[in-house]
Amino acid sequence: MSIHLSGWDDTIVALATPQGIGAIGVIRVSGKESFHILNQLFPSKDLTAQASHTIQVGYLKEDDQVLDEVVLSLFKGPRSYTGEDVIEISCHGSPFIQEQVIRAITKKGARLAKPGEFTQRAFLNGKLDLAQAESVADLIASNTEASRKTALHNMRGGFSSDLKQLREQLIRFSAMIELELDFSQEDVEFADRTALKQLIDELDGSIQQLIRSFSLGNVIRNGVQVAIIGKPNAGKSTLLNALLNENRAIVSDIAGTTRDTIEEVININGILFRLVDTAGIREHTADIIEQIGVAKSLEKMNASDIVLYLFDVNETTAEELKAFEQTLKEKNIQYLLVANKTDTAKLGSIQAITHMPYAISISAKTHTGIDVLKQALTQKAISGDVNTEATIVTNARHYDALLKLSQSLTDVRNGMHDQVPGDLLALDIRQCLHYLGLITGEITNEDQLDFIFSKFCIGK
């Protein structure tokens, strides 16, 4: 690989564990000076004389002053995560010590690593392709079984091997076209075209499957935002508590939470649902449509993947619900109608909701119907069958390239249909290969790489 990156010959250092006090802090050093630098700070052994993948215990010293007692893990390039010489220093987890150790290393000639630079080097050294490298970030960010599983699948090259297969098919296709070119004077064309069409159908099938998987991938990676809408006293807080009861997700601070809405994250069947209790709808307006019109609720509704409309079964008419539905349908928003307080439902109100056969009946108070509601939420979120063994595309950049790839493939198909000369078809196929290369990183540029890896954390 011959991409030139400025500073990519440097030896880099960064804290790999979180900032702050801990039992142990791990500092990573990667680059051709790693062993030379550490040898100067670790006088008890000649590190270059030690075998790769061994650990060494001793004192880290700077000008005869002991900085810490540490464990060093040695990785000799290319047998390391980055493919370069790597030394990891496990020191005591004091921010002061860590800072001192890092400073001592930079004084010997290393520089601080940029976010994601270790993984970027792994990519540049051919240890991972770009799709795999990106899934490393996803793996770190994973917070459910499903997001861990897909990221791990992709990091281990699941997606990459699908792409490799696509690539081989395209190249085979290209070869067949070329064969046709060679023989175009003779009459071999017809026979070859059926084989070509079959191949293009296979390719298209695989690509469409990957494209379709993104709706699920997106859900797995980003979770699902659910706006809970309802009149005052409909039971929104009670429902939230009922849902949170068994399913509170382990999630730290969630970016983008606005202050005037309550946002709770729960894990249902491995998917993170961000439940937003909208504030706007609390304003007292008799007309439900007017209530929906409240700017803030509308905003939240539009930003949501699913709107959960909670209503008190005793206080709500079928007309109201119909009007509400109409609004959501016009906006093309997915919704669930949820009838609450069915434990106290009067006959008349039951009749009203029988006009709404798809409304889910619950009692937030007694927890009746909560499981059915959870099931309905999950189903709305992942609409369609889920093949958990197949690759799931979770990355918007990959999705985008796949859409373009699919378009180019359509160009090839149309070209074949229109009897376009083979050399023009070959151009479209090259375009297909280009989009594949964008995903795996065979085709890329420095700015794009910097952008992708800058989203990583420091030390990764």
Ligand X SMILES: Nc1nc2c(c(=O)[nH]1)N(C=O)[C@@H](CNc1ccc(C(=O)N[C@@H](CCC(=O)O)C(=O)O)cc1)CN2
Q: Decide: is 335 part of the binding site for ligand X (CB under 6 A).
A: no
Work out whether 245 is an interface residue with ligand GTP (CB under 6 A).
no
Choosing among ligand X, ligand GTP, none, which partner's interface includes residue 274 (Cβ < 5 to 8 Å by kind)? none
User: 312 to 351, contacts with ligand GTP by CB under 6 A?
Assistant: 340-341, 343-344
What is the x/- site pattern for ligand X, positions 31-70, by CB under 6 A? ----------------------x-----------------
Closest CB 364 distance from ligand GTP, rounded Å: 4
Distance CA 234, CA 364 (A): 10
Kindly state the smallest distance separating residue 52's Cβ from ligand X, in Å: 8
Query: Is the torsion defined by CA of 394, 397, 399, 405 positive or negative?
Result: negative
- The answer to whether 379 contacts ligand GTP (rule: CB under 6 A) is no
Closest CA to 210 of 247, 158, 259: 158
Tell whether 223 is in a known binding site: no
Beta carbon nearer to ligand GTP, 148 or 296: 296
- If one asks whether residue 161 binds ligand GTP (CB under 6 A), the answer comes out as no
Which listed residue (88, 134, 411, 428) binds ligand X by CB under 6 A? 88
Is 360:372 a contact under the CB 8 Å cutoff?
yes
Asked if residue 342 lies in contact with residue 356, where contact means CB atoms within 8 angstroms, the answer is no
Q: Based on the shown chain and the rule CB under 6 A, indicate whether residue 226 belongs to the binding site for ligand GTP.
A: no
Query: How many residues in total does the chain contain?
Result: 460
Is position 142 annotated in a ligand binding site? no
Residue 359 vs residues 318, 355, 426, 446, 452: alpha-carbon distances, Å: 11, 9, 54, 53, 44
In sequence order, the 6+-apart residues with CB closer than 8 A to the CB of 273 are: 223, 224, 225, 226, 265, 266, 267, 377, 381
Degrees to nearest 5, angle at CA 165 with 125 and 443? 40
Among 12, 234, 271, 402, interactor with ligand GTP by CB under 6 A: 234
The answer to whether residues 196 and 174 touch, using CB atoms and an 8 Å cutoff, is no
* 324 lies in the binding site for ligand X (CB under 6 A): no
Is 7 annotated as belonging to a binding site? Answer: no
The residue (of 221 and 236) whose beta carbon lies closer to ligand GTP is 236
- Kindly list the distances between the CA atom of residue 205 and the CA atoms of 100, 131, 153, 370, 414, in Å, as whole numbers in the listed order: 56, 21, 21, 38, 16
Cβ distance to ligand GTP smaller for residue 60 or 364:
364
Choice between 12 and 229, CB closer to ligand GTP? 229
d(CA 16, CA 78): 20
Applying CB under 6 A, which residues contact ligand X? Answer: 53, 75, 79-81, 88
Applying CB under 6 A, which residues contact ligand GTP? Answer: 230, 232-238, 282, 340-341, 343-344, 363-365
